[in-house]
């Protein structure tokens, strides 16, 4: 322990006396005391202490932090703060004065000795380091990254604070050590050690850069991605007298790259939330309206069946059926936003489908915009999934909305376009009166994640999604736009030919029934009852199971009389695919028709590899159920 002279600065007399007694007892000389901040500098000049032990909170006009700054600036003395105030704000302010330590009240002798000795040691070391820093000043003046300098033997002569942080080596510990011991770097992917950059610089006398995927292994085993370069240090005569390595923390850049890799999922979720947020109120309103129709007419038909004539009954049933169809269409729109819909193309009337979506589009774009439509007397048709067509319209409408922040008109038009040498296309165009697009932006608008919107206001995947859908159906997109003149996106899809498809279209005759026994597995009792009633009217015998376990039990009892199973795809306890595997362990060639109100894509796609299976989406009509059922029953069985 040193016999240093310590000055005590404390405005509470009892604490000041206690500190003085402790210091003398510990072998230090008390050079002087002060109680106010403004008295510190004159007293320090007079008594010449080696170190100042100072309370942060002092009486008078100047607190300990300001007084410490003056002591450090004018006398270059180490200051150790004595304080009961350890909150972050106080400590942040205190750090500005570069204190050499802190002793927290109430204090102990060991804390005082440790803080004083470390402060004195650091102060002596700092003076030595400042001499070296002046030597490196011209080289390091404008560098804010991590810096390590070496001599000609590759021994460390300097580390700046950022280099200390990244390597985990304090400058005092690192000085004089071989560079490779302080800076240990490996290839991020392979884990192999990289060539020592300082050795190469000292050998070749040239500046070199390290691989972009370099990871620095810190003293405590921490790993930090870094970017760096090494160069020789030369004197005014050009003689090399060492090397310097400049490096920076690339963690943020690596994180950005990782975020970009995951951006598609995140961007998709943001897009869905944005769109659904615009539609939530309208969806609730529409569903309540539809349920009012269903409940009202069904209640009337049930309670007034004696007074209701055939014409009124027919009118009520038609209203219920129409409301159900509209509810199903609304659900399809929700599935569009949720991406829980599987591609099922059909002949679609572009004008009719666009007309069904108008109310939802009005909610999406807002009241400040108008919607105009131009539909021809003979509307064009194309083979496309209706939900994907809705998706095209929604994305184009959302883009048009953003291009008209101060109002305007969105025009939706359909028609037939003849292209020489190619034939006829069904055309759907969406035109706005907005800001338009310049040539540079237009060249990139279909790139995934490209957006001109501010961060948080656009995902950059809307138009790329439209492009992907149109390309899937062998169509194309034409864009007419210029700055200030609005934009028109024209979608061209192969026109559906009624005559070419007539032979493949199902007839409208009576539904074909049968005498087979069908196992129906559905956890919703109402749906299960409806399916069994439809099949019963067609001549089938049905076995009802409300759960997968019940279905397995029924099959054990009734096989081999069961011809096939109709099962919900998603059920509590076991999904439909796993249930079929269990059932086929009892009856191997059992056919299956799966039904579901929404699709879990990984599960749905498993069906493609399972023989003698089909899928029907809820809601379905009795005719659709009958046709799908016969389709599975008439599939050939595998040879056993």
Written as six digits, the tokens of 422 are: 């190619």
- Give the Cα separation of 138 and 235 in Å (integer): 11
User: Average model confidence (pLDDT) for the chain?
Assistant: 81
Query: Do 391 and 336 form a contact (C-beta atoms < 8 A)?
Result: yes
Residue 552 has pLDDT above 70, yes or no: yes
Average pLDDT over residues 291-312: 61
Residue 279 has pLDDT above 70, yes or no: no
Task: Average the pLDDT over each of 14-28, 148-162, 230-244, 308-322 and give the range with the smallest value.
Answer: 308-322
Q: What is the pLDDT of residues 446-469, one digit of tens each?
A: 876 566 665 444 445 568 778 888
Altogether, the residues listed in the chain come to a count of 640
Average pLDDT over residues 333-349: 64
Q: Which pLDDT belongs to residue 228?
A: 81
- Give the Cα separation of 72 and 69 in Å (integer): 5
Q: Which pLDDT belongs to residue 291?
A: 61
Q: Which pLDDT belongs to residue 440?
A: 85
- Give the Cα separation of 349 and 384 in Å (integer): 10
- More confidently predicted of 153 and 509: 153
Question: Domain 143-258: what homologous superfamily?
Answer: PAS domain (3.30.450.20)
Q: Which pLDDT belongs to residue 320?
A: 73
Residue 575 has pLDDT above 80, yes or no: yes
- Please provide the distance, in angstroms rounded to a whole number, between the alpha carbons at the two ends of the chain: 93
- Give the Cα separation of 366 and 609 in Å (integer): 45
Average pLDDT over residues 593-607: 70
Residue 32 has pLDDT above 80, yes or no: yes
Average pLDDT over residues 77-97: 78
Q: Which pLDDT belongs to residue 419?
A: 85
Query: Do 148 and 244 form a contact (C-beta atoms < 8 A)?
Result: yes
Task: Average the pLDDT over each of 103-117, 178-192, 287-301, 310-324 and give the range with the smallest value.
Answer: 287-301
| Assigned CATH class of 5-126 | alpha beta
Q: Which pLDDT belongs to residue 162?
A: 86
Residue 506 has pLDDT above 60, yes or no: no
**For the chain, which residues make up each domain, given as ranges?**
5-126, 143-258, 342-497, 517-633
pTM score of the predicted model: 0.39
Query: Do 231 and 244 form a contact (C-beta atoms < 8 A)?
Result: yes
Pairing of strands 223-234, 214-217: antiparallel
Per DSSP, the three-state class of 508 is coil
Task: Average the pLDDT over each of 182-186, 304-308, 466-470, 520-524 and give the range with the smallest value.
Answer: 304-308
| Assigned CATH class of 342-497 | alpha beta
Residue 91 has pLDDT above 80, yes or no: no
Omega before residue 106 within 30° of 0, cis: yes
Q: Which pLDDT belongs to residue 238?
A: 86
Average pLDDT over residues 200-222: 87
Same fold across 143-258 and 342-497? no
Closest CA to 158 of 148, 144, 170, 172: 148
- Helix count and strand count (H, E) for the chain: 23, 24
Helix (H) / strand (E) containing 457 = none
Which runs of consecutive H residues, i.e. helices, occur in 248-309?
A: 251-261, 263-303
What is the percent of the chain where pLDDT is above 90?
Answer: 33
Q: What is the pLDDT of residues 115-146, one digit of tens each?
A: 999 989 988 888 887 776 666 555 554 566 88
Average pLDDT over residues 36-40: 91
Average pLDDT over residues 381-385: 91
* Domain range 517-633, its CATH number among 3.30.230.10, 3.40.50.300, 3.40.50.2000, 3.40.50.2300: 3.40.50.2300
Per DSSP, the three-state class of 428 is strand
Question: In the structure, what pLDDT confidence band is assigned to residue 207 with cuts at 50, 70 and 90?
Answer: confident
Q: Which pLDDT belongs to residue 304?
A: 56
């Amino acid at each position: 322990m040193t016999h240093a002279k310590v000055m005590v600065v404390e405005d509470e007399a009892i604490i000041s006396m206690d500190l003085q007694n402790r210091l003398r007892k510990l072998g230090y000389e008390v050079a002087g005391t002060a109680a106010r901040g403004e008295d510190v500098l004159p007293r320090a000049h007079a008594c010449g202490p080696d170190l100042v032990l100072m309370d942060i909170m002092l009486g008078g006009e100047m607190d300990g932090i300001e007084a410490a700054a003056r002591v450090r600036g004018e006398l270059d003395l180490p200051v150790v703060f004595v304080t009961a105030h350890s909150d972050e704000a106080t400590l942040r302010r205190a750090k500005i004065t570069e204190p050499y330590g802190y002793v927290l009240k109430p204090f102990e002798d060991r804390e005082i000795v440790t803080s004083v000795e470390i402060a004195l040691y650091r102060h002596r070391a700092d003076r030595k380091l400042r001499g070296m820093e002046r030597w490196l000043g011209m080289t390091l003046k404008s560098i804010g990254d991590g810096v390590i300098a070496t001599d000609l033997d590759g021994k460390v002569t300097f580390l700046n604070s950022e280099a200390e942080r990244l390597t985990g080596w304090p400058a005092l510990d690192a000085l004089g050590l071989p560079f490779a011991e302080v800076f240990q770097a490996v290839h991020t992917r392979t884990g192999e050690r990289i060539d020592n950059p300082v050795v190469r610089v000292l050998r070749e006398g040239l500046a070199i850069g390290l691989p972009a995927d370099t990871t620095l292994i810190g003293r405590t085993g921490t790993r930090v991605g870094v970017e760096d370069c090494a160069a020789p240090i030369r004197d005014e005569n050009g003689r090399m007298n060492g090397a310097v390595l400049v490096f920076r923390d690339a963690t943020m850049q690596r994180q950005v790259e990782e975020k970009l890799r995951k951006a598609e999922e995140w961007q998709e979720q943001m897009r869905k939330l944005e769109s659904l947020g615009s539609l939530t109120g309208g969806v609730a309103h529409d569903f309540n309206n539809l349920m009012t129709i269903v409940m009202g007419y069904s209640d009337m038909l049930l309670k007034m069946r004696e007074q209701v004539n055939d014409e009124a009954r027919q009118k009520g049933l038609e209203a219920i059926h129409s409301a159900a169809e509209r509810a199903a269409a609304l659900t399809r729109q929700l599935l569009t936003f949720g991406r829980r819909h599987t591609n099922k193309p059909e002949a679609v009337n572009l004008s009719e489908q666009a007309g069904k979506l108008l109310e939802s589009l009005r909610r999406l774009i807002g009241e400040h915009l108008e919607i105009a439509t131009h539909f021809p007397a003979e509307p064009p048709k194309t083979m496309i999934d209706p939900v994907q067509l809705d998706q095209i319209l929604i994305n184009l409408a959302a883009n048009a909305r953003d291009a008209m922040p101060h109002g305007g008109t969105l025009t939706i038009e359909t028609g037939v376009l003849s292209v020489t040498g190619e034939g006829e296309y069904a055309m759907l165009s969406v035109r706005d009166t907005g800001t338009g697009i310049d040539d540079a932006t237009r060249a990139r608008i279909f790139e995934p994640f490209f957006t001109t919107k501010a961060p948080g206001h656009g995902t950059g995947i809307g138009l790329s999604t439209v492009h992907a859908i149109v390309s899937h159906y062998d169509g194309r997109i034409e864009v007419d736009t210029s700055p200030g003149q609005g934009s028109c996106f024209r979608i061209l899809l192969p026109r559906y030919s009624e005559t070419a498809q007539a032979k493949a279209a199902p007839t409208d005759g009576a539904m074909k029934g049968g005498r087979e026994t069908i196992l129906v597995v559905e956890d919703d009792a109402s749906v299960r009852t409806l399916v069994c009633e439809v099949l019963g009217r067609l001549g089938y015998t049905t076995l009802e199971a409300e759960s997968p376990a019940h279905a397995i039990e029924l099959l054990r009892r009734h096989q081999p009389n069961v011809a096939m199973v109709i099962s919900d795809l998603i059920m509590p306890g076991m999904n439909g695919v796993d249930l079929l595997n269990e059932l086929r362990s009892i009856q191997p060639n059992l056919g299956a028709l799966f039904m579901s109100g929404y699709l879990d894509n990984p599960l749905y796609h498993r069906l493609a590899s399972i023989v003698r299976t089909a899928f029907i989406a809820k809601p379905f009509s009795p005719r659709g159920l009958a046709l799908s059922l016969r389709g599975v029953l008439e599939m050939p069985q595998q040879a056993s």
